[in-house]
Amino acid sequence: MVARQAAFAEESAEAEVLYANLEKMKSLTKKIQTSMSRLDVSGRTVQEAIGPIYGNTQRLQTTNTNVDRIMEAIERVRQPLDMRNKEEQILRERPDRVGLGQYIASIDRTNRALKAMKSSGMRSNQKAVNELGGLLQVGSQNLQEVFRDIVRQDSQPIEPLQQIMRGAEFPMISTNKSAELRTINTHISNAHAAPNGELSPSAKVYAQERGQYIQLSLQNLSAASLSTARKVNADAIYKPGSNGIGTYCAGIQGMFTAEYACICEIFSRDEWGAILAATCSAALQTFAGTLRDLDNHIKANMLTDCYLAYEIVELVSTTSFHLEDKTGELKHEISDAMKPIRETAKSSLTYLLNDTRTKIQQTMALPVDGSAIPLTSEVMQRLQLMTSYLPPLTSIMRSLGDGGWTNTNTANSTSSLPTLKSFDVGADGQQLFAHYSMDTIDTLLSNLENRTRSLLKGKSLQGVSMANNVAIVERMIRSSELAPLLANTAQPKLEAAKKSAKNTYMDGWNEIFKLMQDVTNTAKAPRPPSTGAAIDSAALLKSMSNKDKDVIKEKFKGFNLIFDELIAKHKAFKMEGEVRKQLGMEVQKFVEPLYARFWERYHEIDKGKGKYVKYDKAQLGAIVNAL
């Protein structure tokens, strides 16, 4: 019991100690709360005092940052202005005085500064931008003058004939100068961007200087082309290669090709075509003017100088094809220059046909000896000369179409640019030329046949005249380049024409046929056979009446008169060798058997006295064999 009370007493003491500590904790907590309240009040007081000071500090820091940035901007603005003064001293001098490399470097620095100021967008920089732009313009102009001077050094006019005759290369700008020009052009182009479709300033300078060089170099060839076209003899037919246009085309081809190579060394690829066209423009204008003058000359002398038109078409087209192959340019420009000549060449085909027709129709007299007219040889000579110009004629005829040369208006013919293929003669080209040649020959012979019927009296004379002209045509075909071209078309028509002429000539001998017809009826005996056994002329005549004998006598007398007259005419006619041989054979085949049959029957009519029977068989045979 005592022990239990002692334990309770001990626990009670501990509880009292705990309560005492608790009271102390409560007292301490109240003190802390009081201190926190005072600290809170003090903190708010400090914040209210320090807050404005902190805000001012923040604003001061921002201001300082802005001031620093402004100072940097001012420094950047001052740098180009300071640089302008330095670069101005360089750019206003001539490049050859300060050195081309240093001058170009100055332009590059100025150009970069100008771009930087433009990109800043600051209005305060506008004056400086204008000043730098003006300074850059001065520098660019000075570079252009240097560019011009360098180009001029290798742009002294030359005499292209020397290069052509020697087969030498045409002069070009040297490699070192090309490198200098390329560098200068690059910096000028960077300083001045040309608008779309326009050349850069340096390209314009190049085109002007080199264009003048080419034009002056070629002017003598232009003058030579015109002077060699002048005719000493108005009737002289143009001879291939006698005009200077071939040399002129060779000069153009050589100089333009060399110029394109120079351009490729200096300018960028996308500029090559435009610069070449601009550089060659003046020379091409002179060339076009020369071709127009030649065209007028050809039109005034179409019959003799149309061949010059064909030659020009071939030469100029070949030049165009070569330049297109080497440069890819100038085809349209050259084609435009050639167009008047090409149109004249087209119209010449119709003109020559009409001229042949008109001259024959206007002929008021034909040779009374049956000889061929000079026009036949002239027309065939034209066709012979045309064989020397088959490539251009083929191209022209293809553009007209088969038979297009018979139209008086060739405006409907195709006007497309000639191609290299169109100058390939080939089978179809030969056929077109053969058709034109036969149209020409048909026009000649058909109109001539009509005129012989109107102007010449007598079938024999008409036949001889036509036979002679056909013989001239056939001979001039056979002895020239026309032979293989007209082999399949000419001969059938010529054979028909020869047969018609022969028949017309032999119509004049029909009177002999009428006289030699044996229509006499015997009174006492049947008519002897025409062939077979020998005929007894005396017996046959004895069986005939006096009236029938008188008829036979008149026939012999009529034959003698007509035969002598026809033989005299035949010998008087002027015949080509082959015509005389052909017609002589025809007379022999016609007259000799006819007379022989008649003579065998009735030669005893005058008992060999020759009063009526002037020729025996042998005598007549000798005469007709000698024709």
Q: What is the pLDDT of residues 308-341, one digit of tens each?
A: 999 999 999 999 999 999 999 999 999 999 999 9
More reliable by pLDDT, 626 or 107 = 626
Residue 525 binned pLDDT confidence (cut-offs 50, 70, 90):
very low
Residue 522 binned pLDDT confidence (cut-offs 50, 70, 90):
very low
The tokens of 275 are what?
């610069």
More reliable by pLDDT, 533 or 364 = 364
- pLDDT higher than threshold 50 for residue 411: no
Cα–Cα dist 564/159, whole Å: 75
Mean pLDDT of the chain: 82
What's residue 497's pLDDT? 92
More reliable by pLDDT, 183 or 133 = 183
- pLDDT higher than threshold 80 for residue 510: no
Q: Which residues contact 336 (CB under 8 A, 6 or more apart)?
A: 288
Buried-state track 560-577, b at ≥16 Cβ within 10 A, e below 16: bebbeebbeebeebebbe
Poorest-confidence range of 10-14, 181-185, 352-356, 412-416? 412-416
The tokens of 86 are what?
């330095």
- pLDDT higher than threshold 60 for residue 482: yes
User: pLDDT exceeding 90 applies to what percent of the chain?
Assistant: 42
- pLDDT higher than threshold 50 for residue 580: yes
What's residue 366's pLDDT? 92
Poorest-confidence range of 91-100, 293-302, 492-501? 91-100
Question: Of 398, 386, 460, which is closest to residue 427 (Cα–Cα)?
Answer: 398
Question: Of 171, 177, 176, 175, which is closest to residue 147 (Cα–Cα)?
Answer: 177
The tokens of 341 are what?
């000549």
What's residue 131's pLDDT? 59
What's residue 438's pLDDT? 94
What's residue 610's pLDDT? 66
Poorest-confidence range of 261-275, 330-344, 367-381, 598-612? 598-612
Poorest-confidence range of 43-52, 323-332, 401-410, 417-426? 417-426
What's residue 523's pLDDT? 47
Residue 416 binned pLDDT confidence (cut-offs 50, 70, 90):
very low
CB 209 within 8 A of CB 155: yes
What's residue 74's pLDDT? 57
What's residue 524's pLDDT? 46
Which run of H or of E encompasses 71?
Answer: helix 2-91
Four-CA torsion 38, 40, 45, 46, nearest 10 degrees: 110
